[in-house]
Amino acid sequence: MLATIEGFTVNLSQPIDISIPLTNDENNPIAWYIDKPVIEPVKMDDWVGKVSEGSSTNFNNIFFNPHGHGTHTECLGHITRDFYSVNQALKQFFFMAELVSVLPEAQDEDFVITKAQIEKALNGKSPEAIVIRTLPNDSSKTSKNYSNTNPPYLEEAAATFIRECGIKHLLIDMPSVDRENDEGRLVSHKAFWNVKDINNLNADARHDATITEMIYVNDEVKDGSYLLNLQIASFENDASPSKPVLYKLS
């Protein structure tokens, strides 16, 4: 199926899924020191919700954490005292996006994505969304246990620059835009959402901006401009598991 969007032709029958599926085995990626997800049939007395065990249907419970168990999209409610829902923040789902690949720079014990790197990668473009693929890039990102590994992150100045470019949606293949252990400062989250006080939210905080973490973009997908379809499950929560999908523009 072909569609024309802003002068570009998009083949909607050729999606590029950059989400990581949630599983209940050791292949599921993990962050923030939690155990793997649990997917198991409901049990009531002698009844088990599993066709192979005599039920008419498969009827599973799923226990997971959106922040620690795979691809998820979050709103500023992730860091504020008051409750804000990503389901209320994200009301449009198609965006012009720029995919960029960045090799984080070594800074002491850390590897950091800098403002200069993002500025160079965007090369003057101001898309609605930016998709950051970190290098080196391999499929271990789809099953890695990130806990206690100090993965690469975005420096505050880079997050500020992305916000000042007018970019509303930030996607990255790491478990967080901030340092794993930063004593709760969360400077890049705050800079991107323009949150100055988590206890008394400023009027110009960006309620309609989102951060999507723990994506995976295969090396076969080239840097450049894409149409992004950013879909979430309808959870009234600060974050939801999500399925970002890219489409080539021609």
Residue 66 to residues 34, 146, 184, 187, Cα–Cα distance (Å): 11, 15, 19, 21
Residues 87-134 have pLDDT tens digits of: 999 999 999 999 999 999 999 999 999 999 999 999 999 999 999 999
pLDDT digits (tens, 9 = 90+) for 49-97: 999 999 999 999 999 999 999 999 999 999 999 999 999 999 999 999 9
Alpha-carbon distance of 127 to 135, in angstroms, equals: 22
In order of 81, 105, 188, the CA distances from 154 in angstroms are 23, 10, 7
Domains along the chain with CATH numbers: 2-20+68-248 (3.50.30.50)
Report strand pairing: 38-41 vs 2-5.
unpaired
| φ/ψ bin of 33: left (φ > 0), alpha (ψ from -120 to 50), beta (otherwise) | left
Q: DSSP 3-state assignment of 136? A: coil
